[in-house]
Amino acid sequence: MNNSARPSRPVALVTGASRGIGAAIAIELAARGFDIAIMAIDDASETAAAIEGQGARALAFQGNLADVAEHASMLESIALWGGPVTCLVNNAGIGSPKRGDLLDVQPEAFDLVLDTNLRGTFFLTQQVARQMVGTPSGAPQSIITVSSVSAELASVERGEYCLSKAGLGMLTKLFALRLAKQGVGVFEIRPGVIRTAMTAGVADKYDRLIAQGLVPMDRWGLPEDIARVVAELASGRFAFATGSVINVDGALSIPRL
Q: Which of 203, 183, 185, 184 is nearest to 193 (CA)?
A: 203
Cα–Cα distance list, 192 to 84, 148, 151, 221 (Å): 32, 6, 11, 7
- 124/145 Cα distance (integer angstroms): 11
- 52/190 Cα distance (integer angstroms): 28
State how far Cα 4 lies from the chain centre: 27
For residue 161, indicate whether it is catalytic.
yes
Cα–Cα distance list, 148 to 179, 246, 249 (Å): 23, 10, 9
Question: Residue 74 carries which side chain, given as an amino acid letter?
Answer: M
- Return the bridge partners of 191, or none: 248
Pairing type for strands 185-191 and 35-40 reads unpaired
Catalytic one among 161, 175, 187, 220?
A: 161
- 253/77 Cα distance (integer angstroms): 40
Cα–Cα distance list, 210 to 102, 155, 202, 219 (Å): 25, 17, 12, 7
DSSP strands (E only) in the chain: 11-15, 35-40, 58-62, 85-90, 142-146, 185-191, 245-248
By annotation, the residues acting in catalysis are 161
